[in-house]
Amino acid sequence: MSFIAEVEDVWFSYSDKNHVLKEISFRVRKGEFLAIIGRNGSGKSTLMRLLVGLIKPTRGKILIDSLDTSKEKVSTLARKVGFVFQNPNDQLFCRSVEEEVTFALRNIGLPGDEVKKRTDEALEKFSLKSVRGVYPRFLSRGDKQRVSVAAVSAMNPELLILDEPTTGQDYRDSTEIMKHARNLNAAGMTVILVTHDIRNVATYTERAILLDNGKIVADASTRHVLTEHRMLRECNLSPPQITELAKGCKEMGVRADILSVDEMAEEVVRVFGGSMYAASDREE
Amino acid sequence: MEYAIEIAGLWYKYPIGKDFILKGIDLQVKNGEFLGILGPTGSGKTTLCMCLNGLIPHYKRGELKGNIKIKGKDTLTQTVAELAGHVGVVFQDPETQLITSSVEDEVASSLTNRGLDRAKVREIVRETLGGLAIGHLKDRIPQTCSGGEKQKITIAATIALNPDIVVFDEATSDLDTDAVREVFSLAENLHRNGKTIVFVTHEMEHLVEYATRIIVLADGEIRLDGAPEAVLSEWRRLTELGLRLPQVSQLAVELRDRGWPLETIPLTIQQTKEQLTHLRETKRNELHR
């Protein structure tokens, strides 16, 4: 089975009146790093709750590793899907960082030595060994977020969902969380990143699904989605600043599908014909 | 009175904390400035904001040294309610500020608390909501509004009291890009109407377009203070502090590293385009010589 998630014509409404999600269909291949983007209120968080099985589709079907979320218990699905909440305060409730990591492992009935092994590994991997005995609420937001990701990834889920993991964090913390996500993905975990931090989408993900008003507006490569300026604008989003710059420099011969500063620097060098002065002639 | 905010030798420590969070802050903000505050998490930005509207030391006691004057008056000698007439603060999470069951009541409550008569309150609410283009939300339950709308409602509730100083404390963190832009342009409108703006954010790309001055806090101290261009020219220090430069500024840094003679670090897309156009012309002239 090559798909970890299969969403087939899913509709969802909290009340009878309005559908928060309509006609949602997509499949996530194992090992993908996928972004779900969309304005505030576009249905992103609802879709994630459906994937975890916290809520069930009003219509349609969701399969997580072939398990139907409407029929399975949340606890069964929790072995497959790990969910990191936007606000770590919603997730952390134990008395120490270590307990936070061991809690779910014990809960799924792993033997003591396995719990210890996985906990030690997670604390090591996320640089949390020095704070293992600390009450999580005393940590900074960035550190709390790292504890949440460590606790969830210790469960070794096949699919990791990160809901706005970098909101309200400075660049250093946000980069650190994203690098951890990239490492987990490189080790084979499928990662879904829900965010409106377009720079992170451009840097880390391969594919992006754009939601608006409860529907999928685009599902394509990140490069394709983030260079559709008009479509993004209609959905209250903007491309990365560097992508906007590239578009503005089109008449100079710069290609418009630039996603990163590095790519733009390469492109400027290509279009302008290499360095104008040798580095040694430069004024420092 | 020239200064909206005067802070001298400010040190502050929370009651439960071991260390001082603010360490000798000296800051004078002129009336009508648009001051941006950047700084890594934990640098003291929010603590500083709480000193401006008197939450520190009136609610959060802790240990405070130095003094803070708002419009020439020491915050110690004024109540939080009095200060609310001078300083309005919009926080990151609108959920924590929305308490009533209609948008109209939300904006009216602070005015009613001040003892204004009902007709006057209605008039101010209508004008404020209209000014932010959210008049149509008047009868909605704030909790059912979108993130961007909620933040606009808290801004309306804050500015309805007509404070001279409006503080945005990471007020755009939870918003999508259009809503971020809207909050910045609302701040800019207030600035144009003579208000003093203090804007705390991680969104350097937007901030440099609006701020007239930026300070960078780190570890409770002011590390950089100047016009946006001057602060960005210290890009090495900004990067060392873990702050993310605007991508266009980062591009200039990278091109310099590759030997391109860029004299200034641009702040905006427009400035970068001009810089690249100029470079291209220089290069053409070189070739024709």
Res. A281 pLDDT band, cuts 50 70 90: very low
| Domain shared by B259 and B286, yes or no | yes
Nearest CB neighbour to A173, from listed B41, B177, B248: B41
pLDDT confidence tier of residue A189, bands split at 50, 70 and 90 = very high
Looking at the structure of chain B, the number of domains it has is: 3
- How sure is the predictor about A274, in pLDDT bands with cuts at 50, 70 and 90? low
Is pLDDT at A137 greater than 90 in this prediction? no
User: β-pairing, A33-37 with A59-64?
Assistant: unpaired
From the candidates A254, A261, A271, which should be mutated to test the interface with B, based on the most B CB atoms within 10 A?
A261
pLDDT means per 10 residues, chain B with 289 residues, are: 94 90 97 96 92 92 94 93 92 83 92 89 93 89 84 91 94 84 92 97 94 97 97 94 94 91 91 91 77
| One domain for residues B59 and B180 | yes
Q: Which tops the pLDDT comparison, A139 or A256? A: A256
Q: What are phi and psi of A280, to 5 degrees?
A: -70, -20
Under 8 Å CB-to-CB from B201, ≥6 apart: which residues?
Answer: B36, B37, B38, B168, B170, B171, B172, B173, B207
Q: Which of residues 67-126 of B touch A (CB under 8 A)?
A: 92
Cα A101 to its chain centre, rounded Å, is 20
Within-domain flag for B171:
yes
Q: Residue A84 in contact with residue A91, Cβ under 8 Å?
A: yes
Q: Print the domain residue range for B284.
A: 246-289
Q: Indicate whether B168 and B148 sit together in one domain.
A: no
Do B156 and B209 fall within a single domain? Answer: no
Res A283: pLDDT: 40
This model of the complex carries an ipTM of: 0.88
What is the average pLDDT across A84-108? Answer: 88
Same domain for B13 and B36? yes
Asked, for residue B69, whether it belongs to a domain, the answer is yes
Cβ neighbors of A280 (< 8 A, separation 6 or more) are none
Contact status, residue A221 vs residue A228, Cβ threshold 8 Å:
no
Nearest-angstrom CA–CA distance, A34 and A38: 13
Same structural domain, B148 and B276 = no
Residues of A in contact with B148 (CB under 8 A): 39-40, 236
Contact call for B242 and A172, based on CB within 8 A: yes
Q: Would you say residue B272 lies in a domain?
A: yes
Confirm whether B235 is domain-assigned: no
**Confidence at A278, pLDDT banded by 50, 70, 90:** very low
Contact B261 A278 (CB under 8 A): no
Return the percentage of chain A with pLDDT > 90, whole number: 70
Contact yes or no for B255 and A245 at CB 8 A: no
Q: Say if residues B221 and B24 touch (Cβ distance below 8 Å).
A: yes
Reply yes or no on whether the pLDDT at A280 is more than 50: no
Q: Which residue of A has its CA nearest to B269?
A: A245
User: Based on the domain organization, do B58 and B183 belong to the same domain?
Assistant: yes
Domain stops at, among B140, B162, B184 = B162
Taking only the tens place, the pLDDT of each residue in A11-51 is 999 877 789 999 999 999 999 999 999 988 889 989 999 99
**What is the CATH classification number for the domain harbouring B224?**
3.40.50.300
Inter-CA distances, B160 with A53, A154, B126, B154, B226, Å: 43, 49, 10, 10, 31
Question: Residue B215 in contact with residue B38, Cβ under 8 Å?
Answer: yes
Task: Using the predicted structure, report yes or no on whether residue A158 has a pLDDT greater than 80.
Answer: yes
Interface test with B, best of A176, A268, A270, A284 (most B CBs within 10 A): A268
Do B222 and B133 belong to one domain? no
pLDDT reported for residue A279: 41
Which DSSP letter does residue A68 get?
Answer: E
In this structure, are residues A209 and A37 in contact, taking their beta carbons and an 8 Å threshold? yes
